[in-house]
Amino acid sequence: MMNTKRIRTIQLIKHATKFQFNKHLTGLCYRYYSTSLEKSLVNQTALITGGSKGIGLSIAKKLSSRGCNCVLLSRNDKVLAKSILELCLINNLQHHSFIAYDLNDLKNIETKIVDPIFTDFTNVSILINCAGKSQASLLPFTSIDDICSLVNINLTSAMILTKFFIRNFLKERKNRKNNGEIPLNIINISSILAQDQYSIRGTSIYSTTKLGILGFTKNVTQDIKRDNIRCNVILPSFVKETEIGSTVNEELLKEQGIKTVTLEDVANKVINVIDKDMNGETIIV
């Protein structure tokens, strides 16, 4: 017999470019017991862009260990399908999904990503803007397509997702679907390269997008201060273990004194931001 959740998932498939539902229990998760400092995220839902691997997946794992339903977004459906199997399921109601979508397509973000998630999940309360494209080319040799794509993926898509998440969140509260107690947490993943003292050859557009997302976070908090909506930005140092990390010239980073951190360090910081009810903060990892 088909239960309601399954029916809702099927409707979601119709909306999204590619949407999959997973209900496998992973053997690797331990039941989560919250302490007074750690918030339970049971019955809440998070969208993690760039959630198929690297930092995004590591954040999703952490959120799922607190009971959060996770929707992972990136372009490759095969990788996504494998990645959701790595997430925790700590109770029978928790479920994870994915959307295969290219964030260069800015026009369809509302209809293909935001609307389906808000229709099919309850308490959509976390947005992690983590998808990213790196650059290793001097500006004169960087194509116009690459420049636009870096800006679209690293900055514009995050601003558009933030806009629609805030609108839908406020609408849900007005319609009493959300009783107003669960805040909306928006966490943007920038980079240490957004800081004034660092500049690496061959990253002019990448670093500018990361500075952009830092400025966006600071300014958007002014628009949403009174609405139980929080927006913070994380500036990770060098994370070697990821695909983007593997493209970086480590010597150049060493010259600038940029330290190496782990996936776990970044994911812990994200969960810390939620636990501590931070808002408008710039957090360096």
Ligand X SMILES: NC(=O)c1ccc[n+]([C@@H]2O[C@H](COP(=O)([O-])OP(=O)(O)OC[C@H]3O[C@@H](n4cnc5c(N)ncnc54)[C@H](OP(=O)(O)O)[C@@H]3O)[C@@H](O)[C@H]2O)c1
Among 87, 124, 187, 244, binds ligand X (CB under 6 A): 244
Stretch that binds ligand X, among 27-35, 68-76, 162-170, 214-222 (CB under 6 A): 68-76
Outline where DSSP puts E strands in the chain: 19-22, 45-49, 69-74, 96-100, 124-129, 184-189, 229-235, 238-239, 260-261, 282-284
Distance, CA of 175 to CA of 157 (rounded, Å): 27
285 and 269 Cβ atoms separated by less than 8 Å: yes
Nearer to ligand X, 12 or 258 (CB): 258
- Phi, psi for residue 191 in degrees, rounded to 5: -160, 155
**The tokens of 49 are what?**
């862009």
Among 20, 22, 195, 242, binds ligand X (CB under 6 A): 242
Nearer to ligand X, 79 or 147 (CB): 79
Among 12, 114, 124, 130, binds ligand X (CB under 6 A): 130
* 54 phi-psi bin (left φ>0, alpha ψ -120 to 50, beta other): left
Terminus-to-terminus CA distance in the chain, angstroms? Answer: 48
Nearer to ligand X, 88 or 131 (CB): 131
DSSP classification of residue 114: I
Is position 62 an interface residue for ligand X (rule: CB under 6 A)? no
Size of the site for ligand X (CB under 6 A): 27
Stretch that binds ligand X, among 90-98, 100-108, 179-187, 214-222 (CB under 6 A): 100-108
Is position 99 an interface residue for ligand X (rule: CB under 6 A)? no
Residues binding ligand X (CB under 6 A): 50, 52-56, 74-76, 79, 102-104, 130-133, 153, 189, 191, 236, 238-239, 242-245
